[in-house]
A and B are shown apart, each in its own frame.
Chain A
Amino acid sequence: MIQHKTMNRIADKLGQEGKILSIYFTAGYPSLNDTEKIITTLAENGVDMIEIGLPFSDPLADGPTIQASSTIALKNGMHSGLLFDQLKDIRSKVDIPLIIMGYFNPVLQYGVEEFCSKCAEVGIDGLILPDLPLDVYLREYKEIFDRYGLLNIFLITPQTSEERIRLIDDASNGFIYMVSSASTTGAKTGFGEEQTSYFQRIAAMKLKNPLIVGFGISNSETFSLATRNTNGAIIGSAFIKHLTEKGVASISDFIKRIR
């Protein structure tokens, strides 16, 4: 039953008209107990989907902004068990898809099955674990994810071969996370011809999954460029920077400037 509901939350959202705006934030940042406030405010301001970052000590794919927010979140005392506590009533407050994004080791230590079970319990719809490779997922964990109705979202990059993109498309449910350029998060600002042709090239592959672009989106211009040929875009570092500079109270200013 949970599975049915979950599938619908992401599928419903992606089936609607218009482009998806998804926001990433690091749980436990700026303050330990901001999680619920950030999620509800984002939802009130029309954000379509949220990625809740589970902080990790060694975030390999992240640039300085998300690294720093993770370090502070961990110092504040964030951990998996606490995040689930903070999320236990979230489904009575927001209806949009919620995804946890993090690195694999904290999930492994929590216990993959236990982690998935908790996600299902609080109403998480999917996971993005960039360092859990496709082959290991399919061999060892897919069955668990499926049992709890969790979607596992995979990344592709401009360097990913067409053959591998097809493989990832086959293994995916929900959407494919298109990393906009060869970079860590927050490393590049603005898109050039290279990105545009990459977006067009992937769109032309007519994959079964919708495409959502992440990395390098920071304002309305990059958002509209990223979503011209795709279904939506994710903003992370730029939002974290905004939280650092302006605080949780000014979230609506940030969202209004995107669209």
Chain B
Amino acid sequence: MKSYQVDNNGYYGIFGGAYIPEMLYPNTEELRENYLSIMEEPEFKREFQQLLQDYVGRPTPLYFAKNLSEEYKAKIYLKREDLCHTGAHKVNNTIGQILLAKRLGKKRIIAETGAGQHGVATATVCALMGIECVVYMGEIDIARQAPNVARMKMLGAEVKPALSGSRTLKDATNEAIRDWINNPVDTHYIIGSVVGPHPYPDMVARFQSVISEEIQSQLLEKEGSCNPDYVIACVGGGSNAAGAYYHYLDNPEVGIIAVEAAGKGIYTGESAATSALGKVGIIHGSKTLLMQTDDGQITEPYSISAGLDYPGVGPMHANLFQSGRGEFISITDKEAMDAGLRVSQLEGIIPAIETSHAFAIFKHREFNPDDILVINLSGRGDKDLQTYIDYFDL
């Protein structure tokens, strides 16, 4: 049977691999040779599970959204990653990676962040473990995400501005990679999404796979079956989606729907809809779909949501798109903002703007009334309050 998991060489179909300068070879080799065996260690598993339970607050609920279900005529469940410590799924991965970094003897952690959610999740686990933490963030993002910058500082992290290029997430990632090149021995780079050179996409997906693992047992209890008809998640780089799909990837009974940010419209030149606009190329050490010029220069994406504002997509998702296994839908800023407001009023849950994109698919796609849908509610909207305030003039 065809598998949508990573293969032994670090590829998903034609996507993935490790397209990195030789300077990064020893670092990624060390990870590649150790990540699976470390993750299999009973003591690692115990510590990871314990922290997910007692520190993050897992399992997160699988909530039957009655009002949304009535409104959109389907059985809609919400996987409440917004209730994780720090407000989003990002912390599942940072807990896993910090435990791994400790076992590899690393003394210093670096990370990139866009909106600041992954930066905060990284600063949080570094505070917990007492490890030095440097977070790279685009200069422009630093200016527009002041509360998260303050949170990181309060947690003891150093926030370094990325001053190159467009000074957003892509450039913060470049700077983190450059830091790693300059500090190859004692530093671990905690990438926040299922992007980057092998083994990162697979490693991050495995740490996030706790999401689909929980969905399976929770749905079995509620519906008598592990399998929903569809799992729906927003995709920037794609870590929350990878976690929500993980145990369903090779299960043809479960449909996979990925929701991308169309920004102001797919063809307006201000979009982050990688599946529609991207071509095969290399970004941040991975072969994947990315937005680029004909000459192979990486272009600037746009989305109202900083977490979806990335010109590429993880190689797992590029393969889901290319193979037809996943259904990809693009949602504009306006559709997402309206959906976020509607969910707030129907369910009393203010979603992160990233997640709001996933709630906007009902304008684009119909479901049968007895279809069971799981929407991954990847983060809460507190961080986006200012954007919501400005947008709706609240």
Residues on A facing B (Cβ under 8 Å): 56-58, 60-61, 63-64, 67, 71, 74, 79-81, 103-110, 130-133, 136, 154-157, 159-161, 164, 179, 182-184, 187
Task: Write out the residue numbers on chain B whose beta carbons fall within 8 Å of the beta carbon of A133.
Answer: 17-20, 25
Please name the 8 residue pairs, one residue from A and one from B, whose CB atoms are nearest each other, closest first: A109-B296, A106-B296, A130-B21, A155-B22, A57-B297, A79-B295, A159-B26, A61-B21
Q: Give the CA-CA distance A63 to B283 in the complex, in Å.
A: 18
B residues contacting the other copy or chain, number (CB 8 A): 35
Q: By the criterion CB–CB under 8 Å, are B22 and A105 in contact? A: no
Q: Give the CA-CA distance A182 to B26 in the complex, in Å.
A: 11
Q: By the criterion CB–CB under 8 Å, are A131 and B23 in contact? A: no
Task: Write out the residue numbers on chain B whose beta carbons fall within 8 Å of the beta carbon of A71.
Answer: 164-165
Q: By the criterion CB–CB under 8 Å, are B22 and A58 in contact? A: no
In B29-72, the 8 Å CB interface with A consists of none
Task: Write out the residue numbers on chain A whose beta carbons fall within 8 Å of the beta carbon of B17.
Answer: 133, 136
The contact of B23 among A103, A132, A136, A179, by CB within 8 Å, is A179
User: Is B6 close to A, CB under 8 A?
Assistant: no
What are 27 contact pairs spanning A and B, CB under 8 A?
A56-B296, A57-B297, A57-B299, A58-B165, A58-B174, A60-B177, A60-B181, A60-B284, A61-B178, A64-B164, A71-B164, A80-B295, A104-B19, A105-B282, A106-B297, A109-B281, A130-B22, A130-B23, A131-B285, A133-B18, A133-B19, A136-B17, A155-B21, A159-B25, A159-B184, A182-B181, A187-B182
Q: Give the CA-CA distance A10 to B22 in the complex, in Å.
A: 23
Query: What is the 8 Å Cβ interface bit string for chain B, positions 7-25, against chain A (1 contact, 0 not)?
Result: 0000000000111111101
Q: Give the CA-CA distance A230 to B170 in the complex, in Å.
A: 37
CB distance from A90 to the nearest CB of B (A): 21
Q: By the criterion CB–CB under 8 Å, are B23 and A155 in contact? A: yes
Q: By the criterion CB–CB under 8 Å, are A184 and B184 in contact? A: no
Q: Among B18, B22, B178, B281, find the residue whose CB has the most chain A CB atoms closer than 10 A.
A: B22
Task: Write out the residue numbers on chain A whose beta carbons fall within 8 Å of the beta carbon of B165.
Answer: 57-58, 71
Q: By the criterion CB–CB under 8 Å, are B23 and A61 in contact? A: yes
Q: By the criterion CB–CB under 8 Å, are A61 and B294 in contact? A: no
Q: By the criterion CB–CB under 8 Å, are A184 and B295 in contact? A: no
Task: Write out the residue numbers on chain B whose beta carbons fall within 8 Å of the beta carbon of A56.
Answer: 296-297
Q: By the criterion CB–CB under 8 Å, are B298 and A105 in contact? A: yes
Q: By the criterion CB–CB under 8 Å, are B25 and A164 in contact? A: yes
Q: By the criterion CB–CB under 8 Å, are B19 and A132 in contact? A: yes
Q: By the criterion CB–CB under 8 Å, are A182 and B22 in contact? A: no
User: Is B225 close to A, CB under 8 A?
Assistant: no
Task: Write out the residue numbers on chain B whose beta carbons fall within 8 Å of the beta carbon of A155.
Answer: 21-23
A62 to B, closest residue via Cβ: B178
Task: Write out the residue numbers on chain B whose beta carbons fall within 8 Å of the beta carbon of A187.
Answer: 182
Q: Give the CA-CA distance A57 to B295 in the complex, in Å.
A: 10
User: Is B143 close to A, CB under 8 A?
Assistant: no
